[in-house]
Amino acid sequence: MMWILWTLLLLVLFLWLLGLWFARAEDLSAFDRAVDPEGSESFASPGGPSGEHRQASSDIQAMGGQVKGMSRKEMLQFTRDFMEEVPKGKEFNCEFVAVDAAGVPAEWVLAPGVEGSRRVLYIHGGAFIAGSPNSHRTVTSRFSEVANAAVLAIDYRLMPENQRRDGIEDCKTAYRWMLDHGPGGDAAASSVFMGGDSAGGNLSLVMAAWIRDAKLRAPDAVVALSPLTDSTYSGPSIRSNLLTDIMLGPLFGALLRIPKWVLGWMFVLENRIKPSNPLVSPVFGDLSGLPPTLVQVSEAEMLLDDARRYVNKARSAGSPVRLQSWQGLLHVWQIFYPDVPEARDAMARIGEFIETTGADAA
């Protein structure tokens, strides 16, 4: 019996050590500082968030209470249903055209009068498990307007039915296709942009490094809204902003009670890749030689330090990456365009950034 006990103890020790190795990553604490003034802007209203934003927050809090006690399967379906309801009842001054982007389902989002040779690859958020071109029409329709471009919103493969790598491959395929195909047919793009939010922000930043390494035509600008950049969840705000992030806190707060070595095992088993791999955690990669990039984030959300660390590290590597942060807002508040004034402001600043980078490129 004693040898069985010793075998079990050694097995547990092995699993513990291997889990710690899975979770091991570069120490990013050197980038836990304010971004230099030349590369950052912070916005706040003297009276706090607008009444419209407070209403959106109340709605999210009410829905957040519904996830308590749900099984994983129930929470997955709840999240998917909720996101698909976001554009319900909204009127859009845009045309939505379904398209097959070399096997990746997608839709062109076309604001009136946009130049079809100017193109945006938009990658929706949803924690890699939810979301679609439909769920993000409030963002993509406005993105088309402010960029004066045709937006290709892709329906990449989601987890858990698919692997994380499958979604990444869909993004790569769609980007290659978009370079030579527009809403009017086969034609090379004159300008190329890329954007995404949350999980889609993660994929956009992963893509920016991949495009550089693959020596493809680089985007003229990249926009990442509240991106996840560190899948090891090592940023201080992951825990310090748990209570102020009323969107992500109820959904993912329980993960923080799980030992780090167990989280490492869970991530590897689910994704077949270490959580610190730059393919899923762009902040751990080489951030030199990147295109002009704008990162927007709320200072109240759990992913604040994901954004700040990424920007600081990229700027240290010489890349023209900027941070815009807002006080007290929801995670990816831009999705509440046009109802919430802060969403209108953020989208306007995206337009200014794209216009400026376009002028610089010219």
Domain ranges in the chain? 35-361
Asked if 244 contacts 326 with a C-beta cutoff of 8 angstroms, the reply is no
- Catalytic, 301? Answer yes
Q: Is the pLDDT of residue 361 over 50?
A: no
Q: How far is CA 36 from CA 31, 39, 62, 135, 321, in A?
A: 11, 6, 38, 35, 11
Give the rounded percent of residues in the chain with a pLDDT score beyond 70. 89
The residue behind tokens 């809403």 is: 183
Give the rounded percent of residues in the chain with a pLDDT score beyond 90. 71
DSSP per residue, 207-225: HHHHHHHHTPPPPSEEEEE
Instruction: Tell which residue, 310, 323, 327, has the closest CA to residue 349.
Output: 323
Exactly one of 141, 198, 276, 319 is catalytic; which is it?
198
Exactly one of 107, 145, 301, 342 is catalytic; which is it?
301
If you classify domain 35-361 with CATH, what class do you get?
alpha beta
pLDDT digits (tens, 9 = 90+) for 136-154: 999 999 999 999 999 999 9
Instruction: Tell which residue, 342, 336, 254, 300, has the closest CA to residue 60.
Output: 336
Q: Is the pLDDT of residue 21 over 70?
A: no
Q: Is the pLDDT of residue 3 over 70?
A: no
- In this prediction, residue 45 carries a pLDDT of 85
Q: Mean pLDDT check: name the lowest of 27-36, 123-132, 283-292.
A: 27-36
Asked if 286 contacts 342 with a C-beta cutoff of 8 angstroms, the reply is no
3-class state of residue 26 by DSSP:
coil
pLDDT digits (tens, 9 = 90+) for 341-350: 999 999 999 9
- In this prediction, residue 156 carries a pLDDT of 98
Q: Is the pLDDT of residue 102 over 70?
A: yes
β strands within 142-234, DSSP E: 149-154, 181-182, 185-186, 191-197, 221-225
Q: Is the pLDDT of residue 165 over 90?
A: yes
Asked if 226 contacts 332 with a C-beta cutoff of 8 angstroms, the reply is yes
Exactly one of 53, 325, 331, 342 is catalytic; which is it?
331
40-43 and 104-110 strand pairing: unpaired
pLDDT digits (tens, 9 = 90+) for 218-237: 999 999 999 999 999 899 99
Q: Mean pLDDT for the chain? A: 90
Q: Can you tell me the mean pLDDT for 297-305?
A: 97
Q: Is the pLDDT of residue 2 over 70?
A: no
